[in-house]
């Protein structure tokens, strides 16, 4: 990465971190209901991969999706308003955390059914293959979904038809409350596509530069018509599986060690300072991000709830006659 690219990545990761922290606060205040899965700790994965994409490429992921939305360029205001169930949200307050989409930004949703989005991501790639364009589908899923049947069915179809899809396993070590060591006989998930001839590699998902480097290889492989590619991102979530998870299956010391030794934002910050950027420059970025997040929170709380008439919209597509 150039210094300018790294600074942009730092800003994007910091925006996700501060946004998720604010979302956690609003959830604690009762302003966000239902499920809320925070992305804190994993920011380098989506930011590094997004830096590899071109207009027209597509992204689809699971329920831990707020960071992916922000990385694709969706507005913090619209995402936060949707989390709080307000009319100003991307789905007019009717979808919540797992039901936001943006065709303009190429974001095809976060999905609550474990592993279901993998087949949809292969479908997006099939659409690109059929249209004979250069677009690539990034399909994210967690290590907890990596042994789902539909995942392997998608691998098979993607390899058979040489579909332009990058499968990305965000291995944060814990599927809900179970460690990957207890749940998966495969210890190197990057090799899960080997039976179908899908190349794969493990990546330090806490280092945005490493993610971008691996992502560029994977995306170039797909654009060249060589079929799918599998990346296992070794990352870590600092918070529980969701806001309702006390995370008693791991120690505070383990989390603190990851924060101190491997935090993706602090790593990027140190690289920028060593590269000649000043503290004042980073403070400016920090202030900008804080202002965006506070504005999003204010907008979300001021935006009205959807009227009852919205119950009957967006459920039927009526063709003009």
pLDDT in tens, 253-270: 999 999 999 999 999 999
Q: What is the pLDDT of residues 143-184, one digit of tens each?
A: 999 999 999 999 999 999 999 999 999 999 999 989 999 999
Q: What is the pLDDT of residues 217-231, one digit of tens each?
A: 999 999 999 999 999
| Residue 302, pLDDT above cutoff 90 | yes
The pLDDT > 90 percentage for the chain reads 93
316 pLDDT tier (thresholds 50, 70, 90):
confident
Question: Within a 10 A sphere around the Cβ of 213, how many other Cβ atoms?
Answer: 15
Q: Please state, in angstroms and rounded to a whole number, the distance separating the CA atoms of residues 102 and 81.
A: 15
| Residue 63, pLDDT above cutoff 90 | yes
Give 194's DSSP letter. G
- DSSP lists the bridge partners of residue 60 as 139
Q: For position 203, what pLDDT does the model report?
A: 98
Q: For position 167, what pLDDT does the model report?
A: 98
| Residue 9, pLDDT above cutoff 90 | yes
Measured in degrees and rounded to the nearest 5, phi and psi for residue 228 equal -75, 165
Q: For position 321, what pLDDT does the model report?
A: 67
Q: For position 304, what pLDDT does the model report?
A: 97
Q: Please state, in angstroms and rounded to a whole number, the distance separating the CA atoms of residues 70 and 47.
A: 9
DSSP labels for 58-120? EEEEES--HHHHHHHT--HHHHHHHHTT-TTSTTTTSSGGG---BTTTTEEEEESSTTHHHHH
Q: Please state, in angstroms and rounded to a whole number, the distance separating the CA atoms of residues 289 and 12.
A: 9
């Amino acid at each position: 990465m150039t210094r300018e690219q790294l600074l942009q990545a730092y800003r994007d990761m910091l925006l996700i971190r501060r946004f998720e922290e604010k979302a956690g606060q609003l959830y604690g205040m009762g302003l966000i209901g239902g499920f809320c899965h925070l992305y804190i700790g994993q920011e380098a994965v989506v930011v590094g991969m997004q830096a590899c994409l071109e207009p027209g490429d597509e992204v689809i992921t699971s329920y831990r999706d707020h960071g992916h939305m922000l990385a694709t360029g969706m507005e913090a205001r619209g995402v936060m308003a949707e989390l709080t169930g307000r009319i100003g949200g991307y789905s007019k307050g009717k979808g919540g955390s797992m039901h936001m989409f943006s065709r303009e930004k190429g974001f095809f949703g976060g999905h609550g059914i474990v592993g279901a989005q993998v087949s949809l991501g292969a479908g997006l790639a099939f659409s690109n293959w059929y249209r004979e364009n250069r677009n690539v589908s990034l399909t994210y899923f967690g290590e907890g979904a990596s042994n789902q049947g539909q995942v392997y069915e998608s691998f098979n179809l993607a390899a058979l038809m040489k579909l332009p899809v990058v499968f990305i396993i965000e291995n944060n070590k814990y599927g809900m409350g179970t460690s990957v060591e207890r749940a998966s006989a495969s210890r190197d998930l990057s090799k899960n596509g080997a039976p179908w001839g899908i190349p794969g590699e493990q990546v330090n998902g806490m280092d945005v530069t490493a993610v971008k480097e691996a992502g560029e290889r994977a995306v170039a492989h797909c654009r060249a018509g060589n079929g799918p590619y599998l990346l296992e991102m070794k990352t870590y979530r600092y918070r529980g599986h969701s806001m309702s998870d006390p995370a008693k299956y791991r120690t505070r010391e383990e989390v603190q060690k990851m924060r101190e030794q491997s935090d993706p934002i602090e790593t990027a910050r140190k690289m920028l300072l060593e590269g000649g950027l000043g503290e004042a420059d980073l403070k400016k970025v920090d202030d900008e991000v804080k202002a965006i997040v506070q504005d999003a929170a204010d907008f979300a709380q001021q935006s009205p709830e959807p009227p009852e008439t919205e119950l009957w919209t967006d459920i039927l597509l009526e063709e003009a006659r």
